[in-house]
Amino acid sequence: MSINRQMTRIWINVTTSVNWNRPAVGIVRVERSLVEHLQKQLGEDRCRLCVWKDGRFVEWVPALAEVPPHVAQAVDTIVPRGPSFDIVRPFLVRAFEKFSQRAQNASELRVALPLSRIAPLHPAPGDFLISVGLDWNNLYTREYFGLGKKQGLRIITCCYDLIPVLFPQYCVGDVVQQFTEYFVELSWGSEAVLCISEQTRRDYTQLCQEVGAPNRRTLVIPLGDNLPSGHSALGEQVLSATETPYILFVSTIERRKNHEVLYRAYHILMRRGLSKGLPKIIFVGMPGWGVGDLLKDIELDPLTRGMIVQLNHVSDAELEYLYKHALFCVFPSLYEGWGLPVGEALAMGKAVIASGEGSLPEVGGDLVHYLPPWNAYEWADTIQEYVENPQRIRDAEQRVRAHYKPRQWSDTARTIHELIVDLEGTEVGSSFDLLPGYDLSTLCGLNCGPSIRTTGNAGLLLFGPHRALRQGHYTVHIDGSLMEGHRGAMSVAVASGEGKTIHFSQSYKLSSNDGTPISIDLSFPLQHNISDFEIKCTILESSALQIDRITVRPTLSSAKPISGDRVTSVAG
């Protein structure tokens, strides 16, 4: 079956980035980096951006940095400024910039829009939708299954880690059920799931097996180590913090990241009388949940006062500066899906001490010094050893620079692009099974588990499922049963366009002498893509019939459609 590849677009859901108003960290950085490099590799025309708005995904066009006054005035005349119009304003700005002309009267703006050339403003059947943001905080994850099955979108999602399920004690509230349901929704709604490490893939696959979720295709993607370029000036807080030697820890300050072991290690070192030769330690990250007591301890502890510095809202340029000038970097996390700061530190050629939990060994290999995350005394001993033996740091840096190969975001994007190319070679949505009692509707029948059964009345027995189907040739196989000694008649139609376009219609005589199962086979061509494929079975004469399963399969274009009166075959 041919695929119209020219019409297939790749959409990236940027709902998280659009709503983020702080420096990009973690998942936000992943989303924005993929946008940048996928658009470079695929082109902005094929790789589009979208956001969830009013119950659907719509195209997102970033607002221009500078809008000419006459264009801004024209846009203000059509739609007022405000959150209700935050989606439409960038489209108007782009259209006016491209298609407007200043009239002789300076207060007029003439616009000629070539409507036939304006691209769709929302994903179409067969398009890919990639979502790698903070999806568990958004309701659209519950819509993925319907978007894939009924609208024909091909959903690719991302699993960063299963920490809320595996280690709920490190999270806010009782999150096990919430996140288990989220991962189940992710599995049912996705065609493929990106995993940021082999550890994450193992955790995700095991959860799916435990809860009975579908085993979707998974792909481990490498996260880029290269820091985003920044050219802003260094702030006074950063300059002040880096006047003397320091150790760097880049991470949101939360319980799982285990800042506490570093505080305790520093407390131990200060009790040993090492205050004069000990560098400061800088925490770069916003305070999160469950660290109030820790931060208060750091504030009040007279031994460590002034030795632990917190920096918030660090720019890209400042972060690069902090990495570059650190003595070495630390990362004592209790569990990670990946550990981006470890890779960034190695990419900057720095020596790294980290815990060996989760996926961190995947990031650093044998170039990182690993410690158990709970042992404050061992962390204190190792930090003291590094500080008192600078050659140890230089040797580690030399090994990193000689052997570490930084991962590029362009490679991450290329890996995802290769997945899409591979998936384009398969027809998803054109080969599927339907269980009438679950997937279809009825007007004159009864839902009996996965089946639909007649009630003795004529009428529309089943209809649906109203889902997308590509152009091509198909066969439909209907399995059911007729009670012994009963006769009747029914018609089967394949329709679209709200039931107005009929692609196939046939009547069948039903008879059974011994109650054995019946089956109906039909084939039909689709001359074009449709968005609401529908099977309609109508009872013409009263009969005791039950429909158990309907199978839809693509066939070769040379297959001949079944036509003419046909008596339903009776097995046996």
258-285 pLDDT per residue, tens: 999 999 999 999 999 987 889 999 999 9
Do 143 and 31 sit in the same domain of this protein?
A: yes
pLDDT of residue 116 exceeding 90: no
Domain's final residue, options 406, 441, 465:
406
Domain's final residue, options 352, 372, 406:
406
Q: Could you tell me the two tokens for 16?
A: 């998280």
Do 270 and 296 sit in the same domain of this protein?
A: yes
* Nearby residues of 517 by Cβ (< 8 Å), 6 or more positions away: 479, 480, 481, 571
Do 209 and 266 sit in the same domain of this protein?
A: no
pLDDT in tens, 160-176: 999 999 999 988 877 89
- State CA 524 to chain mean position distance: 36
pLDDT in tens, 15-66: 998 888 776 778 988 999 999 999 999 998 899 999 998 888 999 877 655 6
Residue 425 falls within a domain, yes or no?
Answer: no
Residue 426 falls within a domain, yes or no?
Answer: no
The residue among 226 and 382 whose pLDDT is bigger is 382
Q: For residue 221, give the 3-state DSSP assignment.
A: coil
Residue 215 falls within a domain, yes or no?
Answer: yes
* Cα–Cα distance, 370 to 332 (Å, whole number): 9
* Nearby residues of 154 by Cβ (< 8 Å), 6 or more positions away: 126, 127, 128, 129, 148, 191, 423, 428, 429
Do 269 and 387 sit in the same domain of this protein?
A: yes
Q: For residue 43, give the 3-state DSSP assignment.
A: coil
Do 319 and 183 sit in the same domain of this protein?
A: no
Do 201 and 249 sit in the same domain of this protein?
A: no
The residue type of 424 is E
CATH number at residue 491: 2.60.120.260
This prediction's pTM: 0.72
**Whether the Cβ atoms of residue 427 and residue 3 lie closer than 8 Å to each other:** yes
Do 170 and 261 sit in the same domain of this protein?
A: no
Do 348 and 458 sit in the same domain of this protein?
A: no
Residue 30 falls within a domain, yes or no?
Answer: yes
Domain's final residue, options 196, 220, 244:
220
The number of folded domains in the chain is 3
Residue 201 falls within a domain, yes or no?
Answer: yes
Do 282 and 378 sit in the same domain of this protein?
A: yes
pLDDT for the residue 560: 47
Do 199 and 270 sit in the same domain of this protein?
A: no
The parent domain of residue 456 ranges over 432-570
Range from 64-73, 182-191, 303-312, 328-337 carrying the lowest mean pLDDT: 64-73
CATH number at residue 283: 3.40.50.2000
The residue type of 381 is D
CATH number at residue 195: 3.40.50
* Cα–Cα distance, 289 to 170 (Å, whole number): 9
Do 199 and 254 sit in the same domain of this protein?
A: no
pLDDT of residue 565 exceeding 50: no
Residue 149 falls within a domain, yes or no?
Answer: yes
Residue 311 falls within a domain, yes or no?
Answer: yes
Residue 227 falls within a domain, yes or no?
Answer: no
pLDDT in tens, 419-429: 999 888 765 55
Do 210 and 241 sit in the same domain of this protein?
A: no
Estimate the crossing angle of helix 88-99 against helix 69-78, to 10 degrees. 130
State the Rg of the chain over Cα.
30
Provide the mean pLDDT of the chain. 85
